[in-house]
Amino acid sequence: MGSALNGIRVLECGELVSAAYATKLLADLGADVIKIEPPGGDRARRHGPFPRDVSHPEHSGLFVYLNTNKRGVTLDLTQARGRALFDRLAASADLVVHNIPPPLMSAHGIEYERLAALNPGLVVTSITPFGLSGPHRDYAFTDLTLWNAGGVAYLNGGGPGTDDLPPLRAYGPQSEYQGALNGAIASLAALFARLRTGRGQHVVVSIQECLVAILELTFEFFPYMGLVASRLGVKPIQPLDFFECRDGWIFICCVEEHQWQRFVELMGSPEWAAMELFENRLSRAANWDALKLLLQEWTKEQSVAELYMAAQHRRIPFAPVSTMGDLLASEHLQARGFFALVSQPGMPAVHVPGAPYRFSATPWELRSPAPRLGEHTADVLAGVGVSAGELGVLKREGIV
């Protein structure tokens, strides 16, 4: 059993999530990924969560999760000597993935033409906020501004009557995860193309565009019907909403007539369910204010787990509003062996999401934890001709 991406050598630079998750996908499928951090370390090391909330650069849950199976090197790419070493590494790499912001790319040595001259087979993937052209190319950004720039936030919020509440973000730097997934896809595609062309190329991902590409059916309302889609719109069909039970929350999803009928039976066929007001999914949506109150009265007596099982056994697609604790305790996820335990010396072992897919021939594998800061600098640089003595000098000068 080999790994799908054996033999592919990847360099990663940048910080936080988008480049790191892209190369994590590759590393976890067997690629040889070298993560290049500035001597002070990736900012993700300071983000946590931390065991017992005690901050420690080797124990950041975000960093540990994103950087499994990678080797770690420190290099100051803002210095010429650092860039020269990066060039030596790039000369024998297959792929560079980075998320260094466009205005800083050149100063960090990320210049595709120059790197291609060193290594014509090299693929360089730039995960950027707005691409490398156009009036917004150099805009300052964070996940929040990108989630809004991509149109996703505008669709989310408190629903009708909450005009004063702002568009609402999702948890976590999701714009970075979308950039990462698209970056991985485009990088792998470029490597596949190289099998035939023998040449690398520059791959540019625009995170804003990645988000506009996932607006479900909402974007097209404007080109097709001249309509603006927003979080304030009334849902056309119900029930499709959150309800509180006695021990948590459940999402009631019951949009087909036959599902509603079975749900009514599950509730013991209360009289109100026979009212004309609620006779089909459109009228249930039109009278949602009333129906929601009636359903809330019923759900608050129920247990989430029992209601979930009872509904699913009747083929009604309810879902629990899972907490992280629910997920870690889930019998289903445990049976699938989904969570992986990451252990490294000096750190309490931690469960993180494991394989996001199961390959029958080349499975996902956790081979090593995230690298300690600079853990592999000496070995990796020795591989490109840096002696112990030179390494000492580089350390003193803050290049590594």
Give 148 or 377: the residue with its C-beta nearer to another protein: 148
What residues are paired with 32 via a beta bridge?
9
Site for another protein in 241-300 (CB under 8 A): 242, 244, 249, 251, 253, 255
**Burial degree of 282 (CB within 10 A; 0-12, 13-18, 19+):** exposed
Smallest distance from the beta carbon of 271 to another protein, in angstroms? 28
392 binds another protein (CB under 8 A): no
Determine which helix (DSSP H) or strand (DSSP E) holds 128, and give its type and residue range. strand 123-128
Looking at 55, 78, 106, 142, which residue binds another protein (CB under 8 A)?
A: 142
198 binds another protein (CB under 8 A): no
CA distance 89 to 94: 10
Query: Which is nearest to 239 in space by CA: 270, 217, 261?
Result: 261
Binding segment for another protein (CB under 8 A), chosen from 84-92, 190-198, 295-303, 380-388, is: 190-198
232 binds another protein (CB under 8 A): yes
Q: How many residues bind another protein (CB under 8 A)?
A: 149
CA distance 296 to 223: 38
Q: Which DSSP string corresponds to 293-341?
A: HHHHHHHTTS-HHHHHHHHHHTT---EE---HHHHHH-HHHHHTT-EEE
Give 19 or 210: the residue with its C-beta nearer to another protein: 210
Site string for another protein, 52-91 (x = CB under 8 A): xx-------xx-xxx-------------------------
Give 337 or 383: the residue with its C-beta nearer to another protein: 337
CA distance 146 to 323: 26
Smallest distance from the beta carbon of 7 to another protein, in angstroms? 8
Give the amino acid at 162. Answer: T
Site for another protein in 150-169 (CB under 8 A): 150-158, 163-169
Site string for another protein, 341-380 (x = CB under 8 A): -------x-xxxx-xxxxxxxx------------------
Site string for another protein, 85-114 (x = CB under 8 A): ---------------------------x--
Give 107 or 144: the residue with its C-beta nearer to another protein: 144
CA distance 31 to 9: 6
Site string for another protein, 200-229 (x = CB under 8 A): xxxxxxxxxxx-xxxxxxxxxxxxxx-xxx
- For 294-300, the CB contacts below 8 A with 24+ separation are 294/270, 295/239, 295/243, 295/252, 296/243, 296/244, 298/267, 298/270, 299/243, 299/244, 299/245, 299/250, 299/252, 300/244, 300/245, 300/246
Smallest distance from the beta carbon of 390 to another protein, in angstroms? 34
Give 58 or 386: the residue with its C-beta nearer to another protein: 58
What residues are paired with 347 via a beta bridge?
344
Smallest distance from the beta carbon of 309 to another protein, in angstroms? 9
